[in-house]
A and B are shown apart, each in its own frame.
Chain A
Amino acid sequence: MAEALAKSDLLTKEQHAPAKAGLIFPRPTAKTGLVSWLTTVDHKRIGVLYATFAIFFFLVGGVEALLIRTQLLVPNNHFLGAHTYGEMFTMHGTTMIFLAVMPLNAAFFNLLVPLQIGARDVAFPRLNAFSLWVFAAGAIILNIGWLLPSGAPAAGWFGYAPLTSKLFTPDMSADLWTLGLQVLGVSSIAASLNFIVTIINMRAPGLTMMRLPVFTWMALFTSFLLVLAMPAIAIALVEVMFDRHFGTHFFEVSGGGQPILWQHLFWVFGHPEVYILILPPMGYISEILPTFSRKPLFGYPIVVFSGATIGFIGFGVWSHHMFTTGLGAVATAAFSLATMAIAVPTGVKIFNWIGTLWGGHLQMRTPMLFSLGFIWMFMLGGFSGIMHSAAPADAQQQDTYFIIAHFHYVLIGGATFALLAAIHFWFPKFFGRLVDETWGKISFWIIFAGFNGTFFPMHFLGLNGMPRRTWTYDAGMGWDGLNKFCTISAYVLGLGICIYFGTIIWSYFKGKKVGNDPWDGRTLEWSIPSPPPEYNFAAIPKVHARDAWWYEKHHQEEIRKEKAEAIAAESAHGGIHMPDASWFPLVAGVGMLVGGLGFAADHMPVAIGGLIVTFLGIYLWSLEGPGGYHIHLDKDGNATEDHSH
């Protein structure tokens, strides 16, 4: 280890390029205040910002959902207009997927991946900040329609051509949607490349791939899925943009365009997207269940391998979203079978989670309740998913409330329950305080009851023939009672979510203070103080086993010696190297925002101006050099910074 450090170029002082003089923005050195947050490259701060934005949009999407449910409270309701209703379900879907669940997962990638692999930051800290600000730009572009005369996008989160064409959506709402998603795609791809490089290259010594925590594995698979799936929708969005602005005929029916092409491109992205949403939650669950069962994950290699299998088969099942588009019997059969096949690795994960519980000492903390809730709800969602793989039966269920029930079981009962478990579980790590257990449990039971009350009856609404995206329905259809029940339950679910986040906010100020390892954790993030110092690890850990921190706790003597050696070696070579903050990721992100809005409004000078700002930001960012400074730790762990180069 010491030898490896000595050889590392990155740690020798002479190699640092001096910061260039004459740049518009010199490297900021603020550690507190607004500027420090705007220019931060610290993965933990970026993670917190991602989480804050994501939770904000999660609540916005939730309000949209409650408005939708209010409109459906009684038959023939005119609480919302038909167009407003279209905006609501379009933005509810788009927001929850792209602006809530994805960035919340990204927040946890940021917060946890470097800590779990024993690294001091991600591979490209400024690129990480860039991903964050570009995400914010995309979120603003998507939502700004609410404030404009065009209104918010209203062609559905799936944006099927030719409804998005100039002929059927003449205003700029469709442009805001295409540009917003396009910009979010840039953010996702940049972040994914960053995490792939980080996970593969920056693992601590001894942390072989088959010792990686399962969450980090899932982050890796998700990143690969994003890098491979995002280009499909990027191309499709470019085609829509060209059709709308430059008169091309990709989907333009009068010019011989093929609207079905959009569906293929969209779902080649859209189905892996489902796994992009659900694989990280499977990762949280695979960390939380072993911790509160006090034993390792059952069948670790199988869980990892089934994650890879899901990611792989996930690219071969997209047309099960299109069983009703007249694929022909052979293609329908092929996608039916592939869809059944993907249920096997998913089922295997559930068996392994149950195997993890088996023989453990289960501690029923709030994250454990959410995790067990996840298994139950995800099972229900998974089984209704298997039912859809039978294509002829799906021909009846497709685009009905049965489907809505199915995917909310996967995305709320699955992904969201896991995210709520994860927030509760890792909150003490990053804020040094426990989330209140009593109110956490109360919120769990209210959410659990509200969620099931909202979505379970939707199975029956679907079987009773209620189609999706229904602005209003007639009284004679037999749907009144269940809709009323669903709406009231949705308010209960909303109440539970309010209690949950209210508890989180209360705990931020008043929660019980805890040390580094409140749950008797198993992975490396629990080995360092809460909240972690900016350099994460005083000594880069050496990993001897899966569940590295569990091993350390049971081999303390050996580890203490190792750590002392590592610290000595590192300080002999200049101390802990830290990256400098930078303005340019933010500048590039602002450029994306201006450019995106310019394109959407068909205002070329602004559009090109925005692009120039983006490129200028990236160019100057490459000019300012890697920068960096050193932190020296004394015997008591007090840090001093050394900004000399």
Chain B
Amino acid sequence: MRLSALFRRLPRRWPAVLTAAALPLLTGALWQLDGPQSTFGAENSPLGPVAQRQLTLFYYTLVVTTVLFVLVGAVLAYATIKFKARNADDEHAEPPEQGHGNPFVELGLTIGSIICLVIIAVPTLSAIWYTYDVPGADTPAKLEEMVKAGKAYEITATGYQWWFKFQYPSERAFATATADARTGKRPEAEFVTANELVIPVGKPVHINLRTDDVIHSFWVPKLAGKVDMIPNRANHLWLQADVPGYYYGQCAEYCGDSHSVMKFRVIALEQKDFDTWLAKQKEPARAAAPIAPANTAPRAAAPLALRNPDDGKKSVPLAGTGDPVVEFKKWQDRQAPAAEDAAKLALISAGRRLFNDNKCSACHTVRGQEGVGVTAPDLTHIGSRSTIAAGLLENDEAHLHDWLADPDHWKPANKMFHGIGRTGKISMPGYIKPDDNGDPMMKDGQPVRNISLSDADVAALTAYLQSLK
């Protein structure tokens, strides 16, 4: 019963108890809020003006509520300690005066709380209007004017299960590398990228938010709070980056199995660098090597060597270091094509053929080459991106290999593996064959494969995709 004696004493030790209650508060101080998606600014990735305004408001509310908490908490703690029965006599003493309250105290406290709320309400209202749309662009016409005058930039972001498409309405891309013989002009195409949004710095960017399927939410914590992408609803937000850099973003509304791995990046460039980037991206895909002739020899059926992510490598980041400065540097380095020797060129060529043979092009576009699909990320310049699989994996050979070999492991239920369309008939099968219900067709406990890739195939595809810079 020594334990019970201890616990009888415990309530008398309020200072110790309060310290215990404060411990969790301290846990916050032990970890710095400097992650790549922190809503606080950091030296290596400062906030954009929208996020800054939101953070300022957050501090307002934090200060007011903390002051209130300390005041009310102090009174509560005082009352608890002061009026506690200290011994058996106290407990059996005559009950205290049976008072029912004091209207003036009530009124005073009510008015006091209303005043505190007004302190929060005023900056809240001003921030609501500030963060709603690009300052000065109250109407669509005014926004259009600003975009034309180069005072603002416009992007359309569309959410898909589970990746982001980015369209640049004011830009046009080239569909081919050469001019049309008849018109003497190069045919144009829509300018589309995926999963990495590149914007110019110092300019407000108005982003139209759309979705192709379910509700998603567009969130780049360092640049702006989130706004949802809702079907049949034309939402938008605005953000601005004041310094060049690499910003992390993520879908913030539950959108199905792979919601947590639906990420993206925003890369902000100086206007000059942005123009260079645009010019390069508008070009069709880089053809490092022509498509290889059909190889009639039986393909090597080497088993797929998949790196097991659960195998002692749990703490290894999948998508880079998480340090915006390092990642920005790596992104810049990726923009130039790597040197390719003859063996590599042969591999790229074989990969390009596999890309066609396996009908990857039905869903993916490689502008200027084979692809025409619009239901999956545009791969025209996939090699120049820093991540694959919607910001999930670093875009290097090892990760691309893992991703192509077993996409369902990384992004459960993804359409590349399971196909598109789930009820009735699958309109576009993926890696596996669907049955009549749209569920995977099973044989001996394993799904029946529609696309079978050997280790060598994956290596060739990897080389091809990496060459598309």
Contacts and interface: CB of A to CB of B under 8 A. Distances in A.
B37 to A, nearest CB: 3
B248 interface: yes
Contacts of B136: none
A324 B227 CA distance: 5
B76 interface: yes
B413 A82 contact: yes
Interface in A299-355: 299-300, 302, 324-326, 328-329, 332-333, 336-337, 340-341, 343-344, 347-348, 350-352, 354-355
Given A324-B217, A325-B230, A395-B225, A460 B27 contact: yes
Interface stretch (B150-158, B175-183, B252-260, B367-375): B252-260
Contact of B423 (A163, A167, A362): A167
A298 B100 contact: yes
Interface string B51-93: 1011101101110111011001101100110011100001101
B3 interface: yes
A162 B124 CA distance: 32
B442 interface: no
B10 interface: yes
Nearest to B437: A170
Given A258-B232, A354-B72, A363-B91, A465 B101 contact: no
Interface in B11-27: 11, 20-21, 23-25, 27
B31 A460 contact: yes
Interface string A385-400: 0110111111111111
A452 B60 CA distance: 24
A380 interface: yes
Interface in A122-146: none
B83 A361 contact: yes
Contacts of A392: 53-54, 57, 124, 127-128, 130-131, 225
A94 to B, nearest CB: 14
Interface string A357-376: 11111111000010010011
B128 A332 contact: yes
Nearest to B262: A467
B444 interface: no
B34 interface: yes
A372 B81 CA distance: 12
A457 interface: yes
Contact of A74 (B58, B91, B248, B315): B315
A361 B95 contact: yes
Given A83-B412, A343-B113, A376 B96 contact: no
A337 B310 CA distance: 48
A332 B68 CA distance: 25
Contacts of A473: 260
Interface residues of A, number: 119
A409 B38 CA distance: 22
Contacts of A29: none
A564 interface: no
A631 B85 CA distance: 44
Nearest to B409: A78
A37 interface: no
Given A82-B260, A160-B215, A464-B33, A75 B315 contact: yes
B25 A456 contact: yes
B103 to A, nearest CB: 8
A465 B38 contact: yes
Contacts of A341: 117
Contacts of A477: 35-37, 322
Contacts of A472: 260-261
Contact of A364 (B11, B64, B319): B11
B99 A324 contact: no
Nearest to A460: B28
Interface stretch (A18-26, A421-429, A478-486, A578-586): A478-486
Given A325-B228, A399-B252, 4 more contacts: A259-B232, A259-B233, A467-B260, A473-B260
Which 7 A-B residue pairings sit nearest by Cβ, starting from the closest? A395-B225, A465-B37, A476-B322, A478-B35, A456-B24, A476-B317, A299-B101
25 contacts: A86-B257, A160-B214, A297-B101, A299-B101, A324-B227, A347-B113, A348-B106, A348-B109, A350-B72, A352-B106, A354-B76, A354-B79, A357-B76, A383-B68, A386-B120, A390-B124, A391-B124, A395-B224, A398-B226, A399-B226, A463-B38, A478-B32, A480-B315, A481-B31, A482-B31
Interface of B: 3-4, 7, 10-11, 20-21, 23-25, 27-28, 30-40, 51, 53-55, 57-58, 60-62, 64-66, 68-69, 72-73, 75-76, 79-80, 83-85, 90-91, 93, 95-103, 105-106, 109-110, 113-114, 117, 120-121, 123-125, 127-132, 161, 209, 213-215, 217, 219, 221, 224-228, 230-233, 235-236, 248, 250-261, 309-310, 314-323, 392, 412-413, 422-423, 437-438
